[in-house]
Structure 1
């Protein structure tokens, strides 16, 4: 049997960090995440019982994978996910996997997390596991903070370590906006970014200021969580004046923010919002229509030769059965 899965990227329309978990091992976040129409493609072929799992890579970013996972495929999120499920449910998982890597690696767009969530959904359906949502999230937590978001089918306000997911549906008009995604192709370390952020807060902010900031973030999170639907970009921007507060902690993030600020300055017609996404090297600019976005794309490629730049859209909210395949539910291609 041969199956294909589309594993979609995300953007953080804002991301704020507010303190550590009680065990001091992870960060609490507040973020509004949404899908965009850029995806990895996962092709799966079943193998004979006992043959185990094999994985190969292709796509425009395949060469970047080893820079972050080393030469061992055991560090890949797909392999980690399948091992966790195999151990938890006493399964012999025997699959040949080909990952076409089209989402920039370590970009903050959640490629590895999306791949992991796609495999959780696949295994649940293919092996008839009938996993509860809590069981899926428990596996997701073991892989990474963003994986829980990718288990559901709409934009969402995420809190906790990213595992508390409150769906928010966007009006169709928002999905018609054009999004220019860029990546300066700089190597970044998520762990280093968060470590630098911790040191910066400890050295530059006293406890009173930190508590005040955390309260403001929590209030914004509550206000957003009360909504069922965001009608337009103006409403989104009014509700949330925050951007990504990791920028100050890493020179690559700061460089990326400056780059898109220059693009925004030279391509301001029709511009709605711009920011970096997640703890990675990618950023986005949201425009009213494709014409404005194409002009910005041309300017970006002229100003910063060699960058990854692509015009895309915010994905429709995938809460109806007709659209489930777009969010990682497999399609039988036999």
Structure 2
């Protein structure tokens, strides 16, 4: 079974408070985009996992807790003894430490693929509950459609946000930022206006109102990030921002975009925006 786990971008990200469990409460919008990995799962006599493409840091397939794909399989197997052994191959394309949720997408697609291939008959709600055990944003990729998210980023509500007709350019400046590093510099605060309300205003207003709080601490540390954001605006972006807690900067355009020459040494993806992948 061959699937294509896709990335997401954050449209706005506000860190509103620190939780007693050490995590942070936030407000954000997750939006699926078409930058994908490739995941193959086939039945086998014994379990195996292999990867190609981009190197996955710390990946040790012989350890049960090493890779999110392996953890996803083991999580389902613990409750479903009828799940057979499989061979999984992940071809990694989505950059790591980029704020795009690639690892979470891979794990979610393992859950969905196993459920479909072996007729486990799990509902989306059940799959989301499994996914939440693997990562805060992992559950998003079960339904894989735009959502407004709160709490740890794993509580979702519908939002009438549709970027169909717009074009996206994602720029990864070959810089991996860990979640721990990103959160070390944040200062939680309660916004005066809920992000949800601002997201429903015309995109032309977003530049002045919608912000990713991680930019406040990471932009001074990595000057190439604000430079990319400014270059996207100079190239005609209607809105540009950092995605998640990683280093990818994206632009939303109202017309097809030619990749600017200054981005040629970076990893980039461009394509049409839509409501679902």
**TM-score with structure 2 length normalisation?**
0.88
- Report the Cα distance in structure 2 between the residues aligned to 1:149 and 1:251, rounded to whole angstroms: 27
Alignment CA distance shift 1:265-1:58 (3 Å): same
Partner of 2:118: 127
- Report the Cα distance in structure 1 between the residues aligned to 2:260 and 2:191, rounded to whole angstroms: 41
Alignment CA distance shift 1:8-1:265 (3 Å): closer
Q: CA deviation at 1:90?
A: 2.9
> Who wins on radius of gyration, i.e. which is larger?
1
**Which blocks of at least 5 consecutive residues in structure 2 are unaligned?**
none
Q: Describe the superposition over 1:18-54 as per-residue Cα deviations: whole angstroms up to 9, x where unpaired.
A: 1122x33211111111111111110112113xx12x1
Partner of 2:18: 20
Partner of 1:307: 266
**TM-score with structure 1 length normalisation?**
0.74
Partner of 2:52: 58
Given candidates 211, 233, 249, the residue that maps to 2:203 is 233
Q: CA deviation at 1:215?
A: 4.7
Q: Secondary structure, in 3 states, of the residue corresponding to 2:212?
A: coil
Q: Give the structure with the larger helix fraction.
A: 1
Alignment CA distance shift 1:216-1:132 (3 Å): farther
Q: Secondary structure, in 3 states, of the residue corresponding to 1:311?
A: strand
Determine if the alignment matches structure 1 residue 192 to structure 2 residue 189. Answer: no
Alignment CA distance shift 1:31-1:92 (3 Å): same
Q: Secondary structure, in 3 states, of the residue corresponding to 1:191?
A: helix
Partner of 1:284: 250
- Report the Cα distance in structure 1 between the residues aligned to 2:84 and 2:28, rounded to whole angstroms: 34
Partner of 1:258: 226
Determine if the alignment matches structure 1 residue 29 to structure 2 residue 26. Answer: yes
Alignment CA distance shift 1:125-1:92 (3 Å): closer
Determine if the alignment matches structure 1 residue 166 to structure 2 residue 142. Answer: no
Partner of 2:172: 183
Partner of 1:207: none
Q: Secondary structure, in 3 states, of the residue corresponding to 2:103?
A: helix
Name the Cα RMSD after superposition. Answer: 2.5
Tell me, yes or no, if the aligned pair for 2:50 and 2:89 is still in contact at 8 Å.
yes
Q: Number of aligned pairs?
A: 275
Q: Secondary structure, in 3 states, of the residue corresponding to 1:312?
A: strand
Alignment CA distance shift 1:256-1:149 (3 Å): farther
- Report the Cα distance in structure 2 between the residues aligned to 1:104 and 1:160, rounded to whole angstroms: 26
Q: Describe the superposition over 1:132-151 as per-residue Cα deviations: whole angstroms up to 9, x where unpaired.
A: 44432222221111112111
Q: Describe the superposition over 1:250-275 as per-residue Cα deviations: whole angstroms up to 9, x where unpaired.
A: 368743431223413542xx320001
Q: Secondary structure, in 3 states, of the residue corresponding to 2:35?
A: strand
**Which blocks of at least 5 consecutive residues in structure 1 are unaligned?**
202-209, 319-325, 327-334
- Report the Cα distance in structure 2 between the residues aligned to 1:311 and 1:134, rounded to whole angstroms: 32
- Report the Cα distance in structure 2 between the residues aligned to 1:91 and 1:279, rounded to whole angstroms: 38
Tell me, yes or no, if the aligned pair for 2:242 and 2:249 is still in contact at 8 Å.
yes
Q: Secondary structure, in 3 states, of the residue corresponding to 1:151?
A: helix
